[in-house]
Amino acid sequence: MSQQHEIPNAVTPPAGPLFGLDIDDLTALMLRLGQKRYRAKQIHEALYRQRVESVEQIAVFPVALRQGMTDAGFRIGQPAIAQTARSVDGTERYLMRMADGETVETVWMPDGDGGEEPDVADEPQFETPGSSYRRATICVSSQVGCAVNCQFCLTAKLGIRRNLTAGEIVGQVAAVLNRHAVAIGKNRINLVFMGMGEPFLNYAEFIKAVRLLVTGLGIPESRMTVSTSGIEPAIRAFALEPIRPRLALSLNASNDTIREGIMPITRKWNIRKLLDAVGTIPLRTREWITFEYVLLGGINDLPEHAREVLDLLAGIRSKVNLIVWNPGPGIAYTQPSAEAVARFQKLLVHGGIPTYIRRPRGRDIYAACGQLKRTIDPAPAPPLVALSEASRSAAPAL
């Protein structure tokens, strides 16, 4: 090892995961390692544009520096795909393992998810040679478990274990992109922060992750949507962010009484408070607020509920995504009838709100909305079908 690239013992910082460090963090790190500033830009490029998976792969670094960092215990530290399940509809659900052994789930949905695509019709569709998809959406987790306790959600049954770091949030995306050999800029990728957890209860790490995804990986913020159950102070902070995704508010009820029953967090921030906070977001051109509405049979799917929703959303540039509730073990709701879903949509559309029925994705592998639970039950999902050869060799099925 040449003296020039050795890491001086006296200034060696505690080594750890590099993924998740932004350019300022990396500059400070390189200076502490006795390196020149330009090394920070190089490693930033390697981590996020090239998506290297080991320090050894940072080809622009001299061998001695790579070796020195490896010896000092530095690692990329992306979450690893521990298990994979593939749905008949092409959706893939991954169990992502963090360095401390905690796991979350991340979902890959080829051809988008049909609901968070605001501009599908007027954008070119990419066809990647050797690839079977034109565009895809990745659903990302923000916490291990969730504290919000929505009554219709399987993830809620986990409780909250811990927040994910920015590196662990971005790392889920990088791991999935690498698995599918996605070239940002050629393939059209949408991100939805709708996996496990409430992103706005992990606000600082979530926003740091968004900045890294935009400035590092190169995914435009306009292709990202964050869904919140309604954390009012965080919505107000979000409105002031210079770089931010689109917002989806998980409304799910037309009045506070129903919402308190299915989303107890409503007692803290009621619908009026949430809509007032949403109103502070300066909407960009072609941007609107998405309101998600999980339809529960006999609870929130009646015509009077649709009319109340119309009153609530009056004056807000919005669209509504109707989500037919996905059943899960231990949750005592029923699915709405097809007639109730169609009637609800029709009433909203006639009231002037663009309203879409989200295609359920990956229902057979519990990857659909509200179904991400991790494997707290040994075999929670129905039998798997059509695990691809790639999936088989990469990891055992969930």
Catalytic residues: 105, 369
Alpha helices in 254-388 (DSSP H): 256-262, 271-278, 303-313, 338-350
Minimum distance, C-beta of residue 273 to ligand SF4, in the bound complex (Å): 17
Phi and psi angles of residue 224, each rounded to the nearest 5 degrees, phi first: -120, 140
Minimum distance, C-beta of residue 160 to ligand SF4, in the bound complex (Å): 9
Q: Which residues contact 270 (CB under 8 A, 6 or more apart)?
A: 256, 259
Residue nearer to ligand SF4 on the CB measure, 133 or 325: 325
CA–CA gap between residue 218 and residue 177 (Å, rounded):
12
Contacts with ligand SF4 by CB under 6 A: the residue count is: 12
Q: Does 230 bind ligand SF4 (CB under 6 A)?
A: no
Residue nearer to ligand SF4 on the CB measure, 156 or 278: 156
Q: Which of residues 233-262 bind ligand SF4 (CB under 6 A)?
A: none
Minimum distance, C-beta of residue 44 to ligand SF4, in the bound complex (Å): 31
- For residue 383, the SS3 value is coil
Q: Which of residues 123-182 bind ligand SF4 (CB under 6 A)?
A: 146, 148-150, 153, 155-156
Alpha helices in 182-321 (DSSP H): 203-212, 232-239, 256-262, 271-278, 303-313
Q: Which residues contact 60 (CB under 8 A, 6 or more apart)?
A: 42, 45, 46
Residue nearer to ligand SF4 on the CB measure, 217 or 299: 299
Chain-centre distance for alpha carbon 290 = 15
Q: Which of residues 338-377 bind ligand SF4 (CB under 6 A)?
A: 370
Residue 86, classified by CB atoms within 10 Å of its CB into exposed (0-12), middle (13-18) or buried (19+), is: buried
CA–CA gap between residue 393 and residue 294 (Å, rounded):
36
Residue nearer to ligand SF4 on the CB measure, 67 or 149: 149
Residue nearer to ligand SF4 on the CB measure, 110 or 328: 328
Minimum distance, C-beta of residue 87 to ligand SF4, in the bound complex (Å): 20
Tokens describing residue 194: 């709708």
Q: Which residues contact 311 (CB under 8 A, 6 or more apart)?
A: none
Which residues of the shown chain bind ligand SF4 in the complex (CB under 6 A)? 146, 148-150, 153, 155-156, 196-198, 229, 370
